[in-house]
Structures are given as C-alpha cells and as structure tokens.
Structure 1
Amino acid sequence: MNISLIPSVEHIKEEELKDKVVIVIDVLRATSVIVTALANGAKEVIPVLEIEDALELKSDMELLGGERKGLKIDGFDLSNSPLEYTREMVEGRSIIMTTTNGTRALHKAKEGDKIYIGAVINGVSAAKKASDEKKDMAIICAGTYGKFSLDDFLCAGKIIYEVLKRGEYELDDFAAAAYMAYRDNKHDLISYVKMAKHCKYLISIGLEEDIKYCFTEDIADVVPEYRDGVIKL
C-alpha cells in the first residue's frame, strides 16, 4: 500500500484520488474546527465554497461558521476558531461552513473512496480509521492561498507517523519528509510550527490560543467523514 502527500489544494488532481482513502487536513483551522464541532455534538457540518452559498442555505436551526483572512465573516454566528465550537453552542445543530482554504480542499477531494477529516487533535484516531481501510492513501494539505503550508505538513507527518505503526506503506518523497519532520520535532510541535508564515499571521491577529489548541495531540477520538456534500460522524 502507498501513501501520497499532496502539498496544497492547487496540486490536487481529482482523478488520482479514485479508489483511495483520502484524509483532508487544514489544521489551522478548518479541520480542527470540524473535529471539535462534531466531537461536541454538532449534527453535521456542510462545507460550501462561497459566503453567498452559506447565506442562502441558512435556516433558523443552522449556524454559520467560517472566516476570510482568518477573521469572522460579517453576519456569521461563529468564526473559524475551534474554541468557539463548544457543546453549549453546537450540540444538535447543523453548521454551514466556508473558509479560505479548507472547504476548497474538501470539495476537490470528492473523488476519494472515503474522505476523512484529519487534524492533530484527532491524529491517532484518523490514522487508525484510514489504515483500517487497507487501501492506498492520499493525504491532502489544504495549504494557504494555494501554497504549501508548514502547519499542514507537520500535521500530515503526525498522521503518517501513526499510520506506519499500524502497517507497511510505501511513502512518496513528500510524505517521507513530513513523517521525518514530525518524528524529529514531536517533542515540541509549537516551536516548529511557529516558523510557518500562516501561523505567524494568526498570532499577529491575536489567535495564538487557537494554535496551541490545534496542536494539542489526540484530545478527540472522532473521525468525521465527508460524503455527499456533508460531514458527519
């Protein structure tokens, strides 16, 4: 079995995902939000591409969540901070989400056989769920504005590290580099990830606590799945 790592949404070739298990990562912060929301009892997350799409779908029973340039969208109930998606806020609710990078990656992953949501906070569980499929695996880093992002790379390395505990896989070179980056820095992920341009930007707008949360390992044991336009457990 093989693991390929895709460096950003712009590098996704949809036909190459067919018959593969896909894990989508946008660790800062969309996939961390999705995992948190569903772990806290949200009914589902519906990812859409545009703000207008979200506003059109909104009903009284649904929450709007997301960001542009890291900031809450005017008229939305929630930003893209996982710390806002508490059980009190989201339990039993549907969440319509649009983000700059993560929701684009999800839509482009649609050809995968199974599409799972990965983050540092559910890394062990995501690795187990994906490896249980006994298929070739593609891990998608959403990236930042279409470019490679160090934070997603490190998260991918964690998941690959955990997958390799469960079976033998051939890694492409990019997957191998991510694996080694995590292996060699797992004692202090925050120091490593703070070198990322996107991470520096989030700190500059006051979101350092989000980063700390998103790089807290394995505090969630749920693995959301994206199917037919909806993310559920």
Structure 2
Amino acid sequence: MRKIHVITQKELVDSHLICGCTAVVIDVFLATSTITALIESQYTEVFAVKDASIALDQANTLQTPCLLMGESNGKSIDQFIYPDPTLIEHPVGKQSAVICSTNGTVAIQKAQFAKRLYASSLVNGDRVSEDIVLKGDDSSVVLICSGNAGRFSIEDFVGAGQLIDHLLTQGTFTLSDAATSARESYQQARAKHFINLLTTETADLLSQTGYEHTIHWVLSNIENLKAVPIYQHGRFVAAQ
C-alpha cells in the first residue's frame, strides 16, 4: 500500500531519499500558484530555478520568447516581473517562462530527481491528486511544504492536507503522522472557509510588500484551475 509523507519545510528534504518517490512541492502563496497559473495560461514550459543569476542564464539559452518572474526574500528583482499570478497574461504564440523565488523554486530544485514531480497549490490540488492516482504505481507520495525561509508555513501544510484529502477519496494510502495532521489542518481550514490563512506569516509579508491581492486571488480560486504542472526534462509542462 502506498504511503503519504509530509515534509514540513524544504530544508528537511533529503534529495537522495526521494529519488524513487512521487513528490509534490507546495508553495501556496507564491511559487506553485504562479507556476500553475502560467501553465493554465498556456505557457508551453516553466523553468523553476534557484535564483536570479541562474534564471537569467536559463533565459539566455532559450530560443523562444521568455517571461522572467522572480523575487528574493519577498522583494522585487531588477529585470524580473514579481511572481504574482494576477500579472500573468496569455502569451502570443508559444512562450516559455522562467521563475525564481526564495522558497518554492528552491524546494523544486531539491526535489527535481524524484521519480515524478508536481507543483501544487490550493488552486489545483484536486487536479494534481487525480493525476497522481491516474499515473499510479507503488511509489510513496512525498508532499513537500516549501515553508518560509527555514520556518514552517501553515498555508503550505494546509495545501498538503488538501492533496491528502483528495487522494484518500480516490485510492488506498497509509499516512505518516505529519500527513494525518496536515489533513486535519486542511479540514479545519476548509470548515472556516480558509479565513485563517489570511493571517499567516507569509500573508503578512505579502501584505507588507503590496501583494495582499495575491493572497485573495489564491483563496478565491481554490480548486478553480485545471492545470497540472509536471516536471519533465528540467522544466514544468502540462501533464498529459
């Protein structure tokens, strides 16, 4: 029987241990919501990289038009659009995107050698869970909460719980203690219409930097997006 594990922050990820696992990175209030919105908006591929320097190098190697999105410690970066999903427009023709962030894309880099890797958020967790079951094998499922610069983030933990809640309606899994707790946190947040996520540490940081609308966009689009970003050959594409 497949087991579901939850890693509560990216700093606890052991890249070697998850090589044979199905991994999902969750960064609800920024990176994975933005990656999902990019795929939903029909960007053909999204490169999620560690920092601005690598992002610029990646952009320079692409042969197609490229959208650069990124932040560092919550602050804007010169030449980059802030990774705010509300700023994304449908591209004209085929277009790539490159994104870097303090937490989510770093977590993705640590998980990149998993057997299968998804980007998930509250906006698409139901769809990601469906694809995990559809492409089912005997691998363990490892849900990676990106966290906030080495600290626990409740919204990512709730995002992990959302996936677990949906997975259990579609298949048979055993849960780690952290997975059980994450599911309970999701169910409690859902019962309160997720208003508790408006006062998290990350929400406060985004509000201070002028991106409070991003929080409201995520919470008003819970399970509204259909895109399932899956990591293939170094970038995210739409799962088929």
TM-score normalised per structure 2: 0.91
Q: Does 1:140 align with 2:144?
A: yes
The separation in 2 between residues aligned to 1:95 and 1:232, in whole angstroms, is 11
Shift of 1:56: 2.5
Partner in structure 1 of residue 202 of structure 2: 198
Shift of 1:190: 3.4
Q: CA RMSD in A?
A: 1.6
Counting aligned pairs with the same residue, the percent is 27
Structure 2: any 5+ residue segments left out of the alignment?
none
The separation in 2 between residues aligned to 1:113 and 1:56, in whole angstroms, is 26
User: 2:230 is matched with which residue: 208, 225, 232?
Assistant: 225
Partner SS for 2:99: strand
The separation in 1 between residues aligned to 2:201 and 2:213, in whole angstroms, is 17
Shift of 1:90: 7.0
Shift of 1:176: 0.7
Contact 1:101 1:145 in 2 (8 A): yes
Change (3 A) 1:100 1:55: same
Partner in structure 2 of residue 36 of structure 1: 37
The separation in 1 between residues aligned to 2:74 and 2:50, in whole angstroms, is 15
The separation in 2 between residues aligned to 1:99 and 1:7, in whole angstroms, is 18
Q: How does 1:55-70 map to 2 (within 5 A)?
A: 55-59=56-60, 61-70=65-74
User: 1:75 is matched with which residue: 65, 75, 79?
Assistant: 79
Contact 1:151 1:199 in 2 (8 A): no
The separation in 2 between residues aligned to 1:18 and 1:57, in whole angstroms, is 24
Contact 1:45 1:231 in 2 (8 A): yes
Change (3 A) 1:183 1:43: same
Partner in structure 1 of residue 166 of structure 2: 162
Shift of 1:20: 1.3
Partner in structure 1 of residue 188 of structure 2: 184
Specify the code of the residue in structure 2 equivalent to 1:123.
G
Deviates more, 1:131-140 or 1:154-163: 131-140
Partner SS for 1:67: strand
Q: Post-superposition, which runs of at least 4 consecutive aligned residues in structure 1 deviate over 2 A?
A: 56-60, 69-72, 89-92, 187-190
Partner SS for 2:16: helix
Specify the code of the residue in structure 1 equivalent to 2:236.
I
Shift of 1:109: 0.4
Partner SS for 1:220: coil
Partner SS for 2:167: helix
Shift of 1:205: 2.0
Q: Does 1:20 align with 2:24?
A: no
Partner SS for 2:149: coil
Partner in structure 2 of residue 110 of structure 1: 112
Write out per-residue CA displacement over residues 137-169 of structure 1, whole angstroms, 9 at most, x where no aligned residue.
Answer: 000011111221111011111111111111121
Write out per-residue CA displacement over residues 91-145 of structure 1, whole angstroms, 9 at most, x where no aligned residue.
Answer: 6211111111111111110231110111111111011111222432000011111
Deviates more, 1:200-209 or 1:140-149: 200-209
Specify the code of the residue in structure 2 equivalent to 1:24.
V
Shift of 1:189: 4.2
Deviates more, 1:188-197 or 1:19-28: 188-197
Deviates more, 1:27-36 or 1:213-222: 213-222
Partner in structure 2 of residue 210 of structure 1: 214
